[in-house]
Structure 1
Amino acid sequence: MAKRPADSEQEQEQEAMKNGHRPMEIDPQNEAGDFEDEFEDEFESEDEILEAGVDGRPDEEREAEERENGMDIDQGTFIPGRHKLSPGETLNPDLSTYEMLHTLEAPWPCLSCDIVPDALGPDRKTYPATVYAVAGTQAARGRDKENQIMVMKMSSLSRMEKDDDDSDEEGSDDEASDPILETKSIPLTSCTNRIRAHQTPQATAAKPPTTLTAAMTESGQVLIHDVTPHLTAFDTPGTTISPAQNKPIHTIRAHGSNEGYAVDWSPLIAEGKLLTGDCSGKICATTRRPDGSFETDTALYTGHRGTVEEIQWSPTEKHVFSSASNDGTVKIWDARSKSRKAVLSVPVSKTDVNVLSWSHQTAHLLATGADDGEWAVWDLRQWKPSTGGGASQSKPSPVASYTFHKEQITSVEWHPTDDSIVLVCAGDNTLTLWDLAVELDDEESRFTAGMQDVPPQLLFVHYMEQIKEAHWHPQIPGAIMATGGSGFNVFKTISV
């Protein structure tokens, strides 16, 4: 991120130095800038020069000064969420660090969004890009009838403009264009706390896959919609959506009036199996039958002593899922258990555990994010089975933990194909990208003195007002969609 340009010539020079640019004074009589040997008369032999070091001083003296002053430039770097703007300053992104960056507005803020898989192909790297997604709004109090589920198509997402010498790069011949946001709205009378999409397999070549959404609402009801017609309408001119197609195909009322935030579809059960959790600590399972109808289990999963903040199915075990709660624990469950009790219960934070994510590449790794700003990675092989009907064990040690964020963690998600990359959203208006594989050697560590509170694993910081949730696009490597108080951001950095 970058602050506005400095006004005076001196400030501009200081700002340039902070950004890594080194001004060079050129003799007006020697515009070519010929090299001048400042040590020409000081040393008579090559051995004396080598002994004195590259700048004429002993190595020990020079290295001591580097350790003391090596981070002068970095200390001037503005870090969103950690530093405050001065009066009159504004924050703008450093566009050179993005491959793609687009901002799209919504009628109301959305707490949650989800990316919908499409038929445009995997591993897409050309531009302009297209993204299909769903989101649920949070209209202002007293205007609940303006709430909606937004089914979206974002197209003409062009890459950042490059210099002429980059014209041979893949996709760089695509002309820059303004992004286009098309929406199909499904009216609701309640805010959506969390929304997740699920896609069943394509029945035939002529029939597209069925796309379902589950929206956990503020009223406590979970609304399941078939948004297949809405998605089809984007690419079939003249298609209209009937009022009947905007109605939910199933409503889950098992949570009563308890609202909730935890929703997840099983990635391994094609027909569709849904888990939902509420503020009373109850977890409910709903299964889609072969005929398309739904059945909700009457027996609920119990054990959390507070709100179930997040639920996620195992990416490899068909009957296993995890849950996070504001009671500070993460629990692991077996959906086949008749007791409906957790098989593992681990305290991972002294504060609310808001979010979790299961690695799709290394299934024994689980990431969590808590209310105190800490996010951590856990090795499930170190967790021991619970005893006494789901009693918690002592807190194990995480594989890695970070306290860079000073506000609550609101979203965490592993990269879909790289088990060392994680994205994290926080209440400090930032989305950060992390590379857990980074380790500094002794030589590199010398130059990080003075920035011990900025972990070397931190790859990137993206600023977005009131950011709530973000997801990697599974078909566009490195692309991210985020939602927040200012609408949606769709971007891709050059670092991932």
Structure 2
Amino acid sequence: MTRSIKNPKKAKRKNKGSKKGDGSSSSSVPSMPAKVWQPGVDKLEEGEELQCDPSAYNSLHAFHIGWPCLSFDIIHDTLGLVRTEFPHTVYFMAGTQAEKASWNSIGIFKVSNITGRRRELMPKPAADDSAMDSDDSDSEDDSEDEDPDSSRSPILQLRKVTHEGSINRIRSMTQTPHICAAWADTGYVQVWDFSSHLNALAESETEGVQGAAAVFNQDPLAKFKHKDEGYAIDWSPLVPGRLVSGDCKNCIHLWEPTSGATWNVDKTPFVGHTASVEDLQWSPTEPHVFASCSVDGSIAIWDTRLGKSSAASFKAHNADVNVMSWNRLASCMLASGSDDGTFSIRDLRLLKEGDAVVAHFEYHKHPITSIEWSPHEPSSLAVSSSDHQLTIWDLSLEKDEEEEAEFKAQTKEHVNAPEDLPPQLLFIHQGQKDIKELHWHSQIPGMIVSTAGDGFNILMPSNIQTTLPSDGA
């Protein structure tokens, strides 16, 4: 497993002579033709650097909140269930990985005036192109559909709550988003109420502006100490307040809410894995069922009504299973990512028949650090890896020679794409170092946020559908 913290497929290769990411080249050094950059395959020659291709994004912004964040969550807000018009406003909570334990905090923050542009989608290729830098990349040469407020930069407002120890993972409650659970490297899982901070940010455009973030001391609503630190934690999407947390000593504990914003934590753990529990996911349809994955290479399915042993367990990967995601739009599908860089999709209806794997990908060559199904498209998911890439996949895509030839004919002056990419690979984002976690925004179709050693990116690829189908699927 890869943990502590100690853009995309089309990246222009150019000769040096100007500052990286400024979109221009030195007049004294001729620039080379644009070429799709293949991580781990292509090499930069002396005097060359990578350039962002802003046309690959409808929106791309970068920001940081101080110390690196290993984990964050997007907070469900009241600004609209399906938002497609720029500028956007997004609320987050994130935990830091500070140099000293006492320097850590949980950040509650708002990013407003997220600008971008809407435009017609290009014909979808077998694998489309993307960009390469984490600097703001709203194009200035394509203003036809540009948001009128795009001349203003996004505004970051931040409030901090002191926290002893680094935060390994943080999650906002589905039904009550101002309640969050945070896993600390001290072995504690704590539950917090951040309603006052979110209200303060919502009511003011100047509260906690970047550089003037207030720091607050606050007691958690509840806390429980595991035998060791951990990373696995998940709120139930069906039962408000129900929580599971798993640690590096193979133990999983169930939290049941009681009256008065308190929790009863079952001190008798669910035990079955033979190594660290890395991730947990509640079933989107069964309130008593959750899944776990482990360093032992297995995935287990548990039913809280059946005692402390798993209902099913199977070998999932040949290395540590770092992360997993249960598809909320197609509840039979479970995705998992491994330390060997592979990720797999399983149809849980096929478990009894033996081989439930319906898709397996070996594109990434370094550990998978995050995986998440799209909340709007049941066949789409996003994956991040220690190879500094964030990839977006559409499992419904198949190679179509005729369509691909037509697309290449239309875009031959703009795209020089590799031939051997999987047809399901829709987009590659780069520019961040050591990407740790990603999340889709459930209320803004097409928006993904990622955290890495060098900060956050908000991205909206131009070839990702940005409006819901008419049937609401």
TM (normalized to structure 1)?
Answer: 0.77
1:278-289 mapped onto 2 (5 Å cutoff): 278-289=247-258
Q: CA deviation at 1:175?
A: 3.8
Which is bigger in relative contact order (C-alpha 8 A, separation at least 6)? 2
CA shift digits 1:111-162 (9 cap, x unpaired):
111000011001111111111011111112xx21111111110111111556
Q: Which has the larger radius of gyration?
A: 1
Counterpart residue type for residue 154 of structure 2: P
In the alignment, the residues of structure 2 paired with residue 10 and residue 149 of structure 1 have an alpha-carbon distance, to the nearest angstrom, of: 48
In the alignment, the residues of structure 2 paired with residue 315 and residue 96 of structure 1 have an alpha-carbon distance, to the nearest angstrom, of: 36
Among 214, 232, 236, the alignment partner of 2:203 is 236
Q: Which residue of 1 aligns with 2:292?
A: 323
Change (3 A) 1:291 1:129: same
SS in 2 for 1:5: strand
5+ residue gaps, structure 1: 19-76, 201-208, 386-393
Structure with more of its chain in helix, by fraction: 1
CA shift digits 1:206-227 (9 cap, x unpaired):
xxx5611111111110011101
SS in 1 for 2:173: strand
Contact kept in structure 2, 1:264 and 1:311, CA below 8 Å: yes
Q: CA deviation at 1:82?
A: 4.0
1:328-477 mapped onto 2 (5 Å cutoff): 328-338=297-307, 340-384=308-352, 396-443=355-402, 453-463=420-430, 464-477=432-445
Contact kept in structure 1, 2:69 and 2:94, CA below 8 Å: yes
Q: CA deviation at 1:80?
A: 3.0
Q: Does 1:484 align with 2:456?
A: no
SS in 1 for 2:254: strand
Change (3 A) 1:242 1:468: closer
In the alignment, the residues of structure 2 paired with residue 491 and residue 357 of structure 1 have an alpha-carbon distance, to the nearest angstrom, of: 20
Among 312, 315, 318, the alignment partner of 2:281 is 312
In the alignment, the residues of structure 1 paired with residue 238 and residue 303 of structure 2 have an alpha-carbon distance, to the nearest angstrom, of: 14
In the alignment, the residues of structure 1 paired with residue 60 and residue 439 of structure 2 have an alpha-carbon distance, to the nearest angstrom, of: 15
Counterpart residue type for residue 159 of structure 2: K
CA shift digits 1:364-423 (9 cap, x unpaired):
0011100110011101011129xxxxxxxx6x2511111010000000000002111110
Change (3 A) 1:117 1:446: closer
TM (normalized to structure 2)?
Answer: 0.81
Q: Which residue of 2 aligns with 1:220?
A: 187
Counterpart residue type for residue 231 of structure 2: Y
Contact kept in structure 2, 1:369 and 1:412, CA below 8 Å: yes
SS in 2 for 1:269: coil
Counterpart residue type for residue 151 of structure 1: I
In the alignment, the residues of structure 2 paired with residue 136 and residue 430 of structure 1 have an alpha-carbon distance, to the nearest angstrom, of: 22
Q: Which residue of 2 aligns with 1:148?
A: 105
Counterpart residue type for residue 153 of structure 1: K
Aligned-residue CA RMSD (Å): 2.8
Contact kept in structure 2, 1:80 and 1:461, CA below 8 Å: no
In the alignment, the residues of structure 1 paired with residue 105 and residue 29 of structure 2 have an alpha-carbon distance, to the nearest angstrom, of: 48
Q: CA deviation at 1:11?
A: 8.8
Q: Work out the percentage of aligned pairs sharing the same amino acid.
A: 39
Change (3 A) 1:380 1:12: farther
CA shift digits 1:163-195 (9 cap, x unpaired):
78864x5x7334431111111101112011111
Contact kept in structure 1, 2:323 and 2:368, CA below 8 Å: yes
Equivalent pairs counted in the alignment come to 412
Q: Which residue of 2 aligns with 1:60?
A: none
Q: Which residue of 1 aligns with 2:127?
A: none
Contact kept in structure 2, 1:199 and 1:211, CA below 8 Å: no
More off after superposition, 180-189 vs 277-286 = 180-189
In the alignment, the residues of structure 2 paired with residue 311 and residue 219 of structure 1 have an alpha-carbon distance, to the nearest angstrom, of: 19
In the alignment, the residues of structure 2 paired with residue 345 and residue 429 of structure 1 have an alpha-carbon distance, to the nearest angstrom, of: 31
5+ residue gaps, structure 2: 1-9, 17-25, 118-137, 409-416, 465-473
Change (3 A) 1:118 1:445: closer
Q: CA deviation at 1:359?
A: 0.8
Change (3 A) 1:445 1:493: closer
Q: CA deviation at 1:292?
A: 1.3
